[in-house]
A and B are shown apart, each in its own frame.
Chain A
Amino acid sequence: KAGVTQTPRYLIKTRGQQVTLSCSPISGHRSVSWYQQTPGQGLQFLFEYFSETQRNKGNFPGRFSGRQFSNSRSEMNVSTLELGDSALYLCASSPETGRAGELFFGEGSRLTVL
């Protein structure tokens, strides 16, 4: 089975631009979560989707948004980029339908904002 695939792996943007990151979960997994990892704040939860519904959202400004498609693929978007948005964005999928179980992570998308 293929693992969680995140694209792009690396990207560089400038302040004020927007970015869209993509995540393809493991086949059959319907839950997709996103996390932001920075040296200062560690791993911070962004959002979780199941069957196209957002079930939880972390404490991030409205510039951070996401969605999930009917095939369980997910995208997240960050608008009006700030320097502090530079981070490794990790997507994870899970076969669990209820509470969080084991998460399967992708390799991440490393965003640099200049």
Chain B
Amino acid sequence: SQQGEEDPQALSIQEGENATMNCSYKTSINNLQWYRQNSGRGLVHLILIRSNEREKHSGRLRVTLDTSKKSSSLLITASRAADTASYFCATDANDYKLSFGAGTTVTVRA
């Protein structure tokens, strides 16, 4: 079973637009992470936000975390064609594993 659920399942945007995706989870966490996966390849770590943090930025990425609602959002600003990928949230519940959501597939149109 998966810890997280992501919304939307798929997203299509124009180059230059912003993309927002959401993640909800069920249990208490130590941290929440976001990963990107390009078409059947390995996952690449994007950003980690700890349970005592509310917002974090990394380049064009902005992540928020609301532990009271057990939810997180990932915002990609000024999207590029290279941002076309699947994005996964993953939660660390202090049990030596990450639990991944089902992912959001983002398509950036030129």
CB within 8 Å of B: which residues of A?
4, 31, 33, 35, 42-45, 48, 50, 55-56, 58-59, 88, 90, 92, 99-108, 110
Query: Can you list 7 A-B pairs, Cβ within 8 angstroms, ordered by A?
Result: A33-B98, A42-B100, A48-B96, A88-B40, A99-B92, A99-B96, A107-B41
Nearest residue, chain B, Cβ from A106: B42
Residues A102 and B45 in contact in the complex (CB < 8 Å), given A45-B98, A56-B95, A56-B96: yes
Q: Which residue of B lies closest to A42 (CB)?
A: B102
> A14 vs B1: C-alpha distance in the bound complex, in angstroms?
27
Q: What's the Cα separation between A44 and B33 when bound, in Å? A: 16
A-contact 0/1 string along B75-109, CB 8 Å cutoff = 00000000000001000101111111111000000
CA distance A4 to B41 in the complex (A): 13
**B33 and A102 contact, CB distance less than 8 A:** yes
Q: How far is the CA of A45 from the CA of B96 in the complex (A)?
A: 10
> When the two chains form their complex, are residues A99 and B30 in contact, meaning their CB atoms are under 8 A apart?
yes
Instruction: With CB as the reference atom, state the residue of chain B lying closest to A41.
Output: B2
Number of A-B contacts (CB under 8 A): 64
For the complex formed, measure the closest distance between the CB of B64 and the CB atoms of chain A, giving whole angstroms: 19
Number of B residues near A (Cβ < 8 Å) is: 25
Give chain B residues whose Cβ lies under 8 Å from the Cβ of A50. 96
How many Å from the CB of A97 to the closest CB on chain B?
11
Asked if B43 CB lies within 8 Å of chain A CBs, one says yes
Closest to A47 in B: B97
Which residues of chain A come closer than 8 Å to B11, judged between CB atoms?
none
Chain B 1-36 interface residues, beta-carbon cutoff 8 Å to A: 1-2, 30-31, 33, 35
Is B42 in contact with A108, judged by CB distance below 8 angstroms?
yes
User: Restricting to B34-80, which residues have a CB under 8 Å from any CB of A?
Assistant: 35, 40-45, 48
Contact partners of A101 in chain B: CB under 8 A: 31, 48, 92
Report if A55-B98 is in contact (Cβ < 8 Å); known contacts: A101-B48, A102-B45, A104-B45.
Answer: no
A42-B102, A99-B30 given; A105·B44 CB < 8 A: yes
